[in-house]
Amino acid sequence: MKKQLRMALLALAVSPLMALAQQQFSTPELAANALAEALGQNNDSALTALLGDSWQQFLPPEGIDPDAVARFQRDWKISHRIVQQADTAWLDVGSEAWRLPVPMVKSSEGWHFDMAAGEDEILTRAIGRNELAAIQAMPCLRRRAAGFLPAEPYLG
């Protein structure tokens, strides 16, 4: 138990240092441009420098979806803009302004991507997709279940 507590405290102490190891930028626009370039080049080491060592834990087991990258690149070319609120900035891309789930935050060193905040948003979006899928499945389940109901209720 004590060992687990020590490991948890060590992880908490080291996590700010990991964030500082990320590449810093003078503006959120430069950070967003670097991300688009790294994605376009499929450059894992550049993505690690931008997002931190743990960025790949947020990917599905099969890795980066090339179709998702192609959509991002297409939408980036159509439109991209930074929406800034104080020391936090968000990247919106495409005509529908799809928002990157990982914000950029300003520290004393400059702007960097905040994967800790992104983790919450990624999880929220995944839960939302799962809930929508469940809601969309309900009418089908109701129709299928109706086929198994007896015409006359059993009053046995």
Spell out the per-residue pLDDT of the chain, length 156, in tens.
444 434 333 344 444 444 446 999 999 999 999 999 999 998 989 999 999 987 877 766 677 788 989 999 999 999 999 999 999 999 999 999 999 999 999 999 999 999 888 888 877 776 766 676 677 777 776 777 766 666 666 665
The pLDDT score that the predictor gives to residue 63 is: 72
The pLDDT score that the predictor gives to residue 116 is: 87
The pLDDT score that the predictor gives to residue 60 is: 67
The pLDDT score that the predictor gives to residue 79 is: 97
The pLDDT score that the predictor gives to residue 7 is: 39
- Chain mean position to CA 132: 18
Judge whether 24 and 107 are in contact, CB under 8 Å.
Answer: yes
The pLDDT score that the predictor gives to residue 10 is: 38
Q: Which of 69, 37, 63 is nearest to 50 (CA)?
A: 37
Distance CA 38, CA 95 (A): 22
The pLDDT score that the predictor gives to residue 30 is: 98
Judge whether 82 and 90 are in contact, CB under 8 Å.
Answer: yes
Q: What is the dihedral of CA 53, 112, 86, 121, to 10 degrees?
A: -30
Q: In whole angstroms, how large is the CA radius of gyration of the chain?
A: 22
pTM (global) more than 0.85: no
Biggest alpha carbon–alpha carbon distance for the chain? 77
The pLDDT score that the predictor gives to residue 90 is: 97
User: Residue 101: what residue type?
Assistant: P
Instruction: Return the number of other C-beta atoms located less than 10 Å from residue 132's C-beta.
Output: 10
Residues in the chain, total:
156
Q: Which of 58, 56, 53, 57 is nearest to 17 (CA)?
A: 53
